[in-house]
Structures are given as structure tokens and as C-alpha cells.
A and B are shown apart, each in its own frame.
Chain A
Amino acid sequence: VLPPLPDDVDTVDVRLGEGLLLGVPVGEGALAPAVDAPSVPLGDGWPALPDVATARDPAAQVRPLVRNVEEPERGLRTQERADEVAESLATDVLFAVDSAELDPAAQAVLGEVAARLRERATGTVQVVGHTDGTGETAYNQQLSQARADAVAQVLRAAAPGLALEASGRGESEPVADDSTEEGRALNRRVTVVYGLREDA
């Protein structure tokens, strides 16, 4: 038993065990029996039906989908939900080691981020700096804040009218194994998080 679908949905993609089906049409009305068998008394079937309170609360059974796309050469990783986007920019592409001064090459990447903000963003945009775990915690905190400030300054100029808040989280929120070079590179990032406009 699944929550009701929105009225305007006419096809869905279905995962059933290890099977994937794309573009399955949505029908209307009661389901027709697929087999000639006596009905199963309520509560005796498998899997068990959810309790009434759960069944009446679609949010209890709906999981927000996250689409994951990366552009490795540009140092960009995007996670897109229905109402929010998080774009993580590798600081190896934006800054020199231990620096909060933007490389010239960073301008092109940030220009494209700003264009997407102008086109799609609503609400307050969060610009959050992160480092890997190398070095002192206090220094990493300071560096991540300075890098977030530098990115936010460029985005403010390129996307006027949008509210931006910059913050630094230092090494406190790794997204990958910090014991490997690959993991540390993923952890060194500035993430731009913004809400999606309804027309985006």
C-alpha cells in the first residue's frame, strides 16, 4: 500500500526488488485481480498492511529523492532534491593550498553557479566552507569561513537581489574517508545550498 500519487502524474518509474521499470502508466480506480484466488482476509496477507495512522500520513512513507551528478574535471558535485539543490565546489579548483584568495580559474565556475542561482534559486542561499582534517581545528575553521566569504562575495555581485549567508564548518562535516587522499579532496569544498523556485 503506497501513498496516493499526485493528480498530474501519469507515469512512474518502479523499483521492485532488483527489477527496474521506466515509464509505467498510472491507472485509475480499483485494482483488478491479477490471479484467480480467494481474497486474503485483512491482516493475514504479506507484507503486513501499515496501521491506519501511518496509511493516512503519506509523509511517513514518502522518501525525498536525491539526484546525484558530478563533473570531476570542474570539481563540481550536485545533489538535487525536489525543493533544494546543493552544489559542492572542490576548493582544490577554487583556491591554492591554505589560501582563501580565489584563483582566476574559479571565476568561470562561480559565474556558472551564479547563473543557476539567478535562474532557479529562492530564499536565502547558504554558502558553507569545509576543510579536510589536516592541520589544526581552529585554523581549519578560520580557513573554511574565509573561503566561504570569498565565494559568497563573488556570488553576491553576480546574483544581486539574492540573500546569501556564508559560514565555515572547518573539518567537522566530512563527506568522505579523511584517511585517504581521495577522501580528503572530497572533504575540501565550499557548498552552495539553495531552495528551488516552483517554476525552476
Chain B
Amino acid sequence: VRRLAGAALALLLLTGCSGAGEDAPPDAAPTSSPAADADDLTAELLAPEPLEAVATTTGRLPYGTGGDVEVAVDVLEVRAGRDSTALRWRLRSAGAEQVDSYTNALSRDLLFDTRRVAVQVDGRLLRASTYDVPGGLGDLGCLCSRVPSKVGPDGKVLVALLPALPATARAVDVVVLPGSLVVEDVPVTRS
């Protein structure tokens, strides 16, 4: 899959199976239309990035050795699917100036992705799904964005694919950084 590099990186996550009722986790959210129309989905993918935030917070993002910068987090969408949850959010400078944001605080092992970003519901943290890379190196791949090196007041839209939400979840907390950048009570939309 990684041969389709850059903007064309495509990952297929096998989700729905015929007779999926047997395979779906018991608390997974049913989709109202699992076989959505392909044209609608294409239009959704090609649509301009949503600019409206459904919830926002500001806080400090660690940067460098012991320093931090003031940033804002806009949650654009938490969309619940049958087998996965799509999170779209924007990281931006809280002020008018561009700030350095190339931190590993949202990841591990100097991977500089955003795998530690989570959706919190019912006392559980659903983190970005990851994937194993060849060579027995473990789950170095992530179904999430890399952290941007700098962000300005317009920010950068980031995404993550997470495990499925419980069918009863109507609102969640989005935890970018525990205790510092937590967006509370974000409404959930459903596919």
C-alpha cells in the first residue's frame, strides 16, 4: 500500500462483510446505510475541507526541550461508522503568529505522528489505529496524520481513524494531550 505514496496513499480497511451482524463487535454502531452511494462518497472526499469547528479549545503544546507554544484545537468532525470512527481536527496557532509544532508529544519513539490523539468515551480511550510494518518492527505505521512542523492561525487539518464507538455514544471528549488539550462534549455524527 505504501507504494501509493504521498497524497495518493490509500488504505483499505476491511470492515463490512456480508452477514456482518455476526462479525461486528457487539457495541459497534450500526450504520444506517452501510452500502453508501459511491458518487456521494466521492463528492464527500473531494469537498472543500470543513472550516466550521464543532468544538474548540486552547492550550499549551510541548515543543523542544522543556518549552511549549500556545495552540488551538478545532474538532471538525467525529464520525461513527460501523467498524471505525473518523476524527478530523485542526491544529492552529492560538495567535496571529506562526508557531513551531513539531513535537513528539502526540506520538512515541520519535515517530512524530499523532497516534496518541484519542476519543474518550465511557472511561475508555480509543486511540488511532496503527499497522505493522514489514521486518518485525511492530506497529510503526499509523492511520493518522503526521504532526505538522509549524502551524499558523489558519492551521492544518489532521485526521485519525479510531476503533468503533459504542452505538449509544452521542458525545465524546477528544483528547489531544491529556490535561492540556482536551475538547469536551463533542457531538458524534453517524454515517
Contact = CB atoms under 8 A, between A and B. Distances in A.
A24 B81 CA distance: 11
Interface residues of A, number: 44
B133 A63 contact: yes
A10 interface: yes
B125 A70 contact: yes
Contacts of A10: 16-18, 20, 34-35
A16 B45 contact: yes
Interface stretch (B52-60, B83-91, B92-100): B83-91
Contact of A8 (B17, B88, B157): B17
Contact of B143 (A8, A15, A73, A81): A15
Contacts of A47: 3-5, 8
A26 to B, nearest CB: 8
Nearest to A48: B3
Interface string A13-29: 11111111111110100
Contacts of A11: 15-16, 34-35, 82
Interface string A38-78: 00000000011010000000000111111111111110000
Interface stretch (B67-75, B158-166, B180-188): B158-166
Nearest to B146: A18
Nearest to A6: B14
Contacts of A50: 3
A16 B129 contact: no
Interface string A130-165: 000000000000000000000000000000000000
Contact of B14 (A9, A16, A66): A9
A6 B19 CA distance: 13
Contacts of A79: 139
Contacts of B149: none
A105 interface: no
Contact of B84 (A2, A22, A63, A72): A22
B4 to A, nearest CB: 5
A19 B161 contact: no
B16 A9 contact: yes
Contacts of B4: 47
A115 interface: no
Interface in B19-70: 19-20, 31, 33-38, 41, 44-45
* 7 nearest CB pairs, A to B: A11-B16, A22-B81, A63-B131, A68-B127, A13-B13, A20-B86, A15-B11
11 contacts: A5-B14, A10-B17, A11-B34, A11-B35, A13-B84, A16-B45, A20-B88, A64-B131, A65-B143, A68-B129, A68-B130
Interface of B: 1, 3-20, 31, 33-38, 41, 44-45, 79, 81-84, 86, 88, 108, 115, 118, 123-133, 139, 141, 143, 145, 157-159, 161, 163, 191
